[in-house]
A and B are shown apart, each in its own frame.
Chain A
Amino acid sequence: MSQVTVSVRTYAFTWATLLALTLLTSVMGLLDLGTFNMVAAVLIALIKASLIAAIFMHAFFGAKLVRIVVASGVMWFLILIGLTLADYLTRGLLPFPGK
């Protein structure tokens, strides 16, 4: 039986939202917001990526197993970047004898 996962309307709305967010992130990039430039850019990128994964890639509508796989991917990446930064960001934080 053929079934439609996501309607054209939903795709079109997602597409328009993604374009709007691209415009927003570009305009914000032109303003000098200090460190917040990078933070805002990554936050908007996360929102866009979630929209693409949830709607375009059907993760939101998919089987539970698919959602678990997606979540595990995010988790493995957080371990990768989290533990790496836990090292680099904390170097030189504590004095140690002989130095």
Chain B
Amino acid sequence: MADPLELAVREQFHDPAQQRETSTVAMWVFLITEVMLFGVLFTTFTVYRIGHPAAFDQGSAQMEFWMGAVNTAVLICSSFAMALAVNSAERGKRLRLAVYLLLTIGIGLVFLGIKFTEYYLHYQDHKVPGLNFQDSTPDARFIEMFFVFYFIMTGLHAIHMLVGIGLLSALLLRTYLGSFNGEYHTPVELTGLYWHFVDVVWVFLFAIFYIPGAHMR
């Protein structure tokens, strides 16, 4: 059987190290474009929050605070499992890599389960703009705006989670097929970067949506 390392080096690269560094930098550049994608939403949210702080606090008070807090911890655990997967890949431990990848996917699915439960509770509370939003307080218009931001930003985040779970599943398959070893495991590292980035986004989403109104609940 051909050496997977030989197969893995594309012709435009001198050696595996150069190929790996190029891929890593490219992945970071892609993540920066993601920062800009979410950054626009965070900036717009900030502008609206500054304009209507009281309404946005009232909106925040209607979040499922503990579900959000638990979900933050859940996603941090998933990131930890991913970090351990990368560590196992670096050591060339195939079985451990597979176990940690499975764990990362599993904890990621727990996160999505809690997230969609929250969405369902908001639906039952008539808090989904454009579908069934109801609020009779004077600030209703801007509380609705808060929920528009909430659904768009956490929704975009959830889509990223789904993409991540797809990528991790592909990694799991490739691990099973024996594509990775101690020398070649760049896809594991790069998917890890993506997964941690999605975690970072959630850390900020938790901070801006759940915390400000938590004491008013």
Interfacial residues, chain A to chain B (CB-CB below 8 A):
1-8, 11-12, 14-15, 18-19, 22, 25-26, 28-33, 37-38, 40-42, 44-45, 48-49, 52-53, 55-58, 62-63, 65-66, 69-70, 72-73, 76-77, 80-81, 84-85, 88-89
Contact of B211 among A8, A37, A52, A57 (CB under 8 A): A37
Q: B77 an interface residue at 8 Å Cβ cutoff? A: yes
Contacts of A7 in B (CB 8 A): 87
With CB as the reference atom, state the residue of chain B lying closest to A11: B83
Closest-CB distance, A30 to chain B (whole angstroms): 5
How many contacts between A and B, using CB within 8 angstroms? 151
- Of A15, A29, A33, A70, the residue contacting B210 (CB under 8 A) is A29
Query: Do residues B87 and A8 form an inter-chain contact, with CB atoms below 8 A?
Result: yes
Known A-B contacts A4-B87, A62-B24, A85-B47; A38 and B212 likewise in contact (beta carbons under 8 Å): yes
Asked whether any CB of chain A lies closer than 8 Å to the CB of B119, the reply is no
23 contacts between A and B (CB under 8 A): A2-B91, A5-B86, A5-B90, A11-B80, A12-B80, A14-B80, A26-B211, A29-B210, A29-B215, A40-B211, A42-B207, A45-B204, A48-B200, A49-B200, A52-B200, A57-B192, A57-B196, A65-B21, A66-B24, A70-B32, A77-B36, A85-B46, A89-B50
Do A42 and B208 form a contact, CB below 8 Å, given A63-B25, A77-B36?
A: yes
Known A8-B84, A30-B215, A70-B28: A63·B207 in contact at CB below 8 Å:
no
Extra 7 A-B pairs, beta carbons < 8 Å, given A42-B204, A69-B28: A15-B77, A30-B214, A30-B215, A33-B215, A52-B79, A52-B203, A85-B43
- A84 engages B24 (CB within 8 Å): no
B76 interface residue (CB < 8 Å to A): yes
- Whether B92 lies near A2 (C-beta < 8 A) is yes
Q: Which of B24, B42, B181, B192 contacts A63 (CB 8 A)?
A: B24
- Interface of chain A, main secondary structure: helix
With a cutoff of 8 Å between Cβ atoms, the chain A residues found around residue B181 in the complex are 2
- A32 surroundings in chain B (CB, below 8 A): 215-216
| Min C-beta distance of A38 to chain B, whole Å | 5
Complex Cα distance, B32 from A65, in Å, reads 14
